[in-house]
């Protein structure tokens, strides 16, 4: 089994039940997969295995990311190379994500000299529309606004929040979070904004 954060051994010493617990307790890293390197490493480890049958199990949802060049190594048709078994755990599932977050001054929109517009772009990667999907604007760890959007299947929408910041020259932590789905890593996105003093231009 391939897992970037788990140590791989040719002959596991723990019983199957213990290994299952170990895998389920391991946190999922928020980084791009590299199946090419993982397959190469697994093949190298199995060269020292004492078992006659050498099999590499790849548990994956079959996303294209991370597979560049991986299918060319190892060569399972070469003598002594391990067999590769793909375990597909994918399928239709709902996933929405905050894919971008920007902020811009908005003093002209009635929110004061320290007014700011926070714009979030939300994507829906599922086959079904996401209606009334909740979005929360969080400022310095506190919820300050709530809204909802309708996102078509495989579509994107932008939502604009208006808020007045306090303390000229003070930096603030801003975050947009949407209602959680099964994949929570992309349900929120942070940004850092600062309230700047308004520059008044006087006539000569």
Query: Domains plus CATH for the chain?
Result: 16-88 (no CATH), 96-194 (2.60.40.10)
Residues in Cβ contact with 158 at an 8 Å cutoff, skipping those fewer than 6 apart: 119, 120, 121, 122
Span 172-189, pLDDT tens digits: 899 999 999 888 888 999
Share of the chain above pLDDT 90, in %: 29
Q: What is the pTM of this model?
A: 0.57
Average pLDDT value for the chain: 76
Burial of 172 (0-12, 13-18, 19+ CB in 10 A): middle
φ and ψ of 33, to 5 deg: -75, 150
Alpha helices in 71-169 (DSSP H): none
CB atoms within 10 A of CB 115: 19
- Three-state DSSP at 111 gives coil
Please give the structure tokens belonging to residue 158: 């932008």
| Token pair in block for residue 204 | 């000569």
């Amino acid at each position: 089994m391939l897992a970037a954060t788990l140590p791989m051994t040719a002959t596991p010493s723990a019983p199957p039940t213990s290994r299952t617990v170990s895998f389920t307790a391991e946190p999922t890293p928020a980084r791009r997969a590299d199946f090419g390197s993982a397959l190469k490493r697994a093949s190298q480890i199995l060269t020292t295995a004492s078992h006659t049958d050498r099999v590499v199990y790849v548990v994956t949802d079959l996303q294209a990311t991370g597979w560049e060049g991986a299918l060319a190594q190892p060569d399972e048709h070469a003598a002594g190379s391990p067999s590769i078994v793909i375990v597909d755990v994918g399928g239709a599932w709902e996933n929405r994500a905050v894919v971008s977050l920007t902020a811009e001054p908005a003093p002209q929109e009635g929110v004061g000299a320290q007014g700011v517009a926070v714009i979030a772009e939300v994507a829906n990667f599922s086959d079904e529309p996401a209606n009334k999907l909740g979005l929360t604007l969080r400022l310095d760890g506190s919820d300050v606004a709530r809204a909802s959007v309708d996102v078509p299947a495989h579509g994107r929408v932008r939502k604009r929040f208006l808020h007045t910041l306090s303390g000229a020259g003070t930096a603030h932590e801003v975050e947009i979070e949407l209602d959680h789905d099964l994949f929570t890593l992309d349900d929120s996105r942070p940004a850092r904004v600062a309230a700047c003093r308004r520059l008044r231009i006087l006539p000569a």
